[in-house]
Amino acid sequence: MRDGKRIVQLLIQRPERNASDHLYLEFEDRADHYFAGAFGDVVCNSALINGIIPVGVPQDNGTFLCTGTRFRQRVLLEGSGESGWLPVILAVTWRNRDGRPEPLLQLRTVNNSHREFKRLSHLSSYVIQDDIIAASSGLPLPEASRELPDRAPAEAVRRRVDQDMGFDPGSLTPVRTGRYLHADQENLFFFVFTVECPGFLTLERMAEMRPLTVPALLAMRENQALRNAARLCKHVKAAHGMPGAAAEIVALNLTLHGHDGPAADLMAASRNGASLDRVTQRIRTLVQQTRQSQPELSTSRNLQVTGLAGLQYREFFTILLPLYESIGVAGATQALARVQGDKARRRALTRLAELYLDEEVMASVPAAI
């Protein structure tokens, strides 16, 4: 106020009540200006986010046609039923340490992500309007439909890498695209890049970045496939029915990790209604035996990792491992050879590629399978 007095005004809203019924409090700040200081701390430690995301349709030539925009807070809401596609980048980060390339992945926490917590992921981000402006010499998205500027995904990579790792990755070229279908919310169209990080780079604790080996990532994906099988069994008991497509997807992922027995039992249950009790108990035991944990670097606590984020789980053998092999990551060639050299695993990989890109199939599959 003009006389130097500070007034605290507090409004507590309840969505189910009218605005006139919201609780409103007004009182003078303490002598030490505690409330003013707390408010200042929030502002000081906040980051400005221009959360406007284009929504549109991916084209067959690998480009993305923007048809509108949505606010970041209103996308990928479970059960929203929203249609359309969102453009997303995936930066496959790695570094060379003593002549050995090693992947760098982020443990997703409430401090660095807004979904898929306790999963591991290479750096990922929506393409936002800021990236489009940077790629278009200051021009935002117009109202009319237009293609996403070619440089916008690379600008999104630069922004995310600088934000979490503190360096400019320089010139970038996308290596491929990928599609991720959801059953009850927007689908994702990925622009995939590889980013070599300086070998001497200091990884900040808050970023939760850490080097991981191919065997470690395979172990995490195996546990995730088993968790999905356990989740499906629980869903079946609650819903009194086995969705055939979901059973096939879960069984094929188990086959990729050599769990042929549980995979066959799941498929038998989906075909003839055989009891799931035995396979459910077997899967639960395997889940416990393969549990994985990682330290949360910012708190020094160990967290149980629930697997790999989204596309990286579905496309581990078709996107990540081939990229790791091209970079020279130890174990990638052997892991790919194990799949290609086994007839059942090779068929499973081919069939999964078909199912994951079938809109009707994915619309019938429970979330996160």
**Neighbour count for residue 178 (Cβ, 10 Å):** 21
**Residue 93 neighbours by CB under 8 Å, 6+ apart:** 103, 104, 105, 122, 123, 161, 165, 195, 197, 209
Report the amino acid identity of residue 39.
F
Nearest to 222 by CA among 319, 281, 306: 306
Tokens 């393409």 identify what position?
127
pLDDT in tens, the chain (369 residues): 888 888 999 988 887 777 778 899 999 999 888 988 888 888 777 766 558 899 999 999 989 999 999 988 888 887 788 889 999 999 999 999 888 999 999 999 888 888 888 999 999 999 999 899 888 876 666 555 788 999 999 999 999 999 999 899 988 989 999 999 998 889 999 999 999 999 888 888 888 999 999 999 999 999 999 999 998 888 776 666 667 888 999 999 999 999 999 999 888 877 766 677 888 889 999 999 999 888 888 787 888 899 999 999 999 999 999 999 999 999 999 999 999 999 999 999 999 999 999 999 998 887 667
Contact 93, 195 (CB under 8 A): yes
Which sequence spans correspond to the domains of the chain?
7-44, 52-211, 214-363
pLDDT, residue 16, reads 72
Residue 367 Cα to chain centre, angstroms: 13
> Distance between CA atoms of 337 and 121, rounded to whole angstroms?
24
Using one digit for the tens of pLDDT, what is the confidence trace for 228-241?
999 888 877 666 66
As given in the structure block, the two tokens for residue 143 are 């109202």
Beta bridge partners of 64: 58
Q: What is the pLDDT of residue 142?
A: 54
Whole-angstrom CA distances from 126 to 71, 158, 250 are 11, 12, 28
Count Cβ atoms within 10 A of the Cβ of residue 86 and give its class: 0-12 exposed, 13-18 middle, 19 or more buried.
buried
pLDDT at position 344, please? 95
CA distance 211 to 48: 29
Residue 81 CB neighbours (<10 A):
9
**What number does CATH give the domain 52-211?**
3.90.79.10
pLDDT in tens, 39-54: 888 877 776 655 889 9
pLDDT of residue 139: 63
pTM of the model: 0.83
Q: Residue 332: helix, strand or coil by DSSP?
A: helix
> Residue 110 is which amino acid?
V
pLDDT of residue 73: 83
- Please tell me the predicted confidence (pLDDT) of residue 104: 96
Contacts 24+ apart (CB under 8 A), 256-262: 256/225, 256/317, 256/339, 256/345, 256/348, 256/349, 256/352, 257/218, 257/221, 257/222, 257/225, 258/345, 259/225, 259/226, 259/286, 260/344, 262/226, 262/229, 262/286
CB 339 within 8 A of CB 317: yes
Return the pLDDT at 146: 87
Give the position of tokens 């070998």: 199
pLDDT in the model for residue 243? 73
The residue behind tokens 């790999």 is 308
- What local confidence, expressed as pLDDT, does residue 312 receive? 96
